[in-house]
Amino acid sequence: MNGWEGIRAEVLRRIRARDWPPGALIPGEEALAEEFGVARATVNRALTALAEAGVIERKKRAGTRVAELPVRRARLEIPVIRLDVLGRGLAYDFKLLSDRLTPAPVPVTARLGLAEAQSLRYLETLHLAGGRPFVLETRWLNPAVLPTPAPDFAKVSANEWLVTHVSLVSGDIAFTAEPASPREAEVMGVAPGTALLVAERTTHGTGGPVTWVRLAHAPGHRVQMVF
Amino acid sequence: MNGWEGIRAEVLRRIRARDWPPGALIPGEEALAEEFGVARATVNRALTALAEAGVIERKKRAGTRVAELPVRRARLEIPVIRLDVLGRGLAYDFKLLSDRLTPAPVPVTARLGLAEAQSLRYLETLHLAGGRPFVLETRWLNPAVLPTPAPDFAKVSANEWLVTHVSLVSGDIAFTAEPASPREAEVMGVAPGTALLVAERTTHGTGGPVTWVRLAHAPGHRVQMVF
DNA sequence: CTTGGCATTATGTCTAGACATATTAGCCAA
DNA sequence: TTGGCTAATATGTCTAGACATAATGCCAAG
């Protein structure tokens, strides 16, 4: 194992072996560079990677120490729903159930940072996997981000159109478990009250708030992450 | 905006502005270095960061192109439950409900890659926030990773002991929504069938499989991530 | 005793140049 | 036409040295 990845591996090994226990100060870059016989920049590359991974904490002047409670980070890759379905080996299709301009409820405008009672585009899309309900997408979309003429969301799902056409800058996503509402039960063909995995996303772009979306997944859906 | 972060920002701006649309080949590092008046290494730093973020795709000889469908990545920071609770401004406590060595069910041994019917340490821990049930932790723990004498999980929760004492190498986490089982309903004080957010984690360490754990969260729990 | 400023020091970033490596396009031969 | 070799090329990594920046701790002034 050579190069900066080799150094990263060796430093990680020493941390795991508790040569350098949690909280300990590890040797400076200069010292490590000499020990490994490389330039300081190479050690820096390795330590920077470990810091990004949360294994060590670095501060100027204070040095580098092993993280006390190594925060475990898991990465979630959020695919376009179509690709998610195809990736499971199932045929994809979707139905646009609702598309209208209507005053948004306060919780939605509040989360997006818009004026109360502003009219937003409301889209209800049922995504199908192998002909069966997969996800019910309930979306409030800021019409200001749409071009004129607006795209036809019956042809391209809003989910996919947004990814390729709007510059998404930041956002957050939250997962909850909720009982299926009567409407959800009817549309997805499950009993009311069935436990559904729900993802709520808020997205902001360069031109301001973009969309708030709620994805209610079919029973049994798993959101998988690796760390 | 100076330095490699400034270059990253400018490249990102051009991608967002569709100066360089999805799929397009962007100028090589040498060309960009000359344009911005910096060394090639600085451009490389900026582009490496963008590649890690999934915005561009880089291949030797083939050059750098804008990602067609920018995969959105969200990062989940998995805290120790005690800190999660304290971070919500609530008092933390936990009760060890069960602790015994018993043959593990096949799905568990299979996921951990252990022989069937192997005896594992079974721990059932109820985590409390402000005196109310917060998470029911159901854990199967490979006794091979424990020191002798084994720690007293009635004093330190297994959740916390593992983070600080075992070298966790890799693992995965999955979220599902499930109806509360009769046992869960009883322990957590909810009606059977209530929708619970469940996290299942499998963890492997340097010394082999470590633990399989199921965390059933109290109703209303949100797992929040930022991207 | 407290506060402000300053020197110290470890990390952060940058440069100019070099070599390594992967990949591709094109050429040549079977 | 096809298969394989080769040369060209863009990214990946590294070096040695330099300056920038941010904490820290000490010291002096109040």
**Span CA (A4) to C1' (D23), Å:** 27
Question: How many helices (H) and strands (E) are present in chain B, helices listed first?
Answer: 7, 11
The mean pLDDT of chain A is: 91
Domain assignment present for residue A204? The answer is yes
Binned at pLDDT 50, 70 and 90, residue A210 comes out as very high
pLDDT above 70 covers a percentage of chain B that reads 98
Last-in-domain residue among B66, B95, B121: B66
Could you tell me if B94 and B60 lie in one domain? no
Task: Report pLDDT digits (tens) over B35-66.
Answer: 999 999 999 999 999 998 888 999 999 999 99
Domain assignment present for residue A38? The answer is yes
Last-in-domain residue among A13, A36, A66: A66
Domain assignment present for residue B74? The answer is no
**Span CA (A61) to C1' (C3), Å:** 22
Could you tell me if B89 and B39 lie in one domain? no
pLDDT above 70 covers a percentage of chain A that reads 98
Domain assignment present for residue A20? The answer is yes
Q: How many domains does chain A have?
A: 2
B42 CB closer than 7 A to any strand D atom:
no
- Which 78-117 residues of chain A touch chain B by CB within 8 A? 78-80, 83
**Span CA (A203) to C1' (C30), Å:** 60
Could you tell me if A58 and A86 lie in one domain? no
What CATH number is attached to the domain comprising A34?
1.10.10.10
Domain assignment present for residue B72? The answer is no
Which nucleotide's C1' atom has the smallest distance to the CA of A42?
D14
What CATH number is attached to the domain comprising B116?
3.40.1410.10
Domain assignment present for residue B90? The answer is yes
DSSP chain A: --HHHHHHHHHHHHHHTTSS-TTPEEPPHHHHHHHHTS-HHHHHHHHHHHHHTTSEEEETTTEEEE-SS--EEEEEEE--HHHHHHHTT--EEEEEEEEEEEEPPHHHHHHHT--TT-EEEEEEEEEEETTEEEEEEEEEE-GGGS-SSPP-TTTS-HHHHHHHHS-EEEEEEEEEEEEPPHHHHHHHTS-TT-EEEEEEEEEEETTEEEEEEEEEEPTT--EEEE-
A2 CB closer than 7 A to any strand C atom:
no
Contact B175 A197 (CB under 8 A): yes
Could you tell me if B62 and B97 lie in one domain? no
Task: Report pLDDT digits (tens) over A145-156.
Answer: 888 788 899 999
Could you tell me if B58 and B120 lie in one domain? no
Could you tell me if A105 and A28 lie in one domain? no
Could you tell me if B13 and B121 lie in one domain? no
Structural domain of A151:
81-217
Mind telling me how many Å the CA of A219 is from chain B's nearest CA? Answer: 7
